[in-house]
C-alpha cells in the first residue's frame, strides 16, 4: 500500500515537472515582439552653431543679429569666441 502511494506521488511529481518544462520551453521559444527604443523627438528646426559646428534646436539656441543676419550659438562661450573673431 505504501509502495503504491509512493509510486503515485512520484509519477504525479514527474508529470508536474514535465508540464513546467514544456511551459518554460514554450515561453522561451515563443516569438517576442522586438524591443522598442524610445525615440528622441525634436520639435522645430535645427540650427548650427558656426563656432563649434554643433546642431541644436532653434528654440534652445542663443540668438544674435550680426551684419543683418541671425546667428545661433550653443553657449555663451561660443558667443564670446565668435565676438573675438575678425
pLDDT digits (tens, 9 = 90+) for 3-21: 888 899 999 999 999 999 9
With cell 540650427, the residue in question is: 47
Please count the other Cβ atoms lying within 10 Å of the Cβ belonging to residue 27.
Answer: 9
Give the start-to-end residue ranges of the domains of the chain: 1-31, 46-84
CA distance 80 to 85: 9
CA distance 65 to 79: 12
pLDDT digits (tens, 9 = 90+) for 20-66: 998 888 877 776 666 676 666 656 789 999 899 999 989 889 999 88
What pTM, to 2 d.p., does this model score? 0.48
Amino acid at each position: 500500500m505504501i509502495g503504491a502511494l509512493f509510486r503515485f506521488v512520484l509519477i504525479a511529481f514527474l508529470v508536474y515537472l514535465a508540464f513546467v518544462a514544456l511551459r518554460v520551453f514554450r515561453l522561451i521559444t515563443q516569438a517576442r515582439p522586438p524591443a522598442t527604443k524610445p525615440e528622441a523627438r525634436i520639435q522645430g528646426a535645427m540650427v548650427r552653431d558656426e563656432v563649434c559646428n554643433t546642431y541644436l534646436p532653434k528654440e534652445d539656441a542663443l540668438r544674435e543679429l550680426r551684419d543683418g543676419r541671425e546667428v545661433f550659438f550653443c553657449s555663451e562661450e561660443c558667443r564670446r569666441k565668435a565676438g573675438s573673431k575678425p
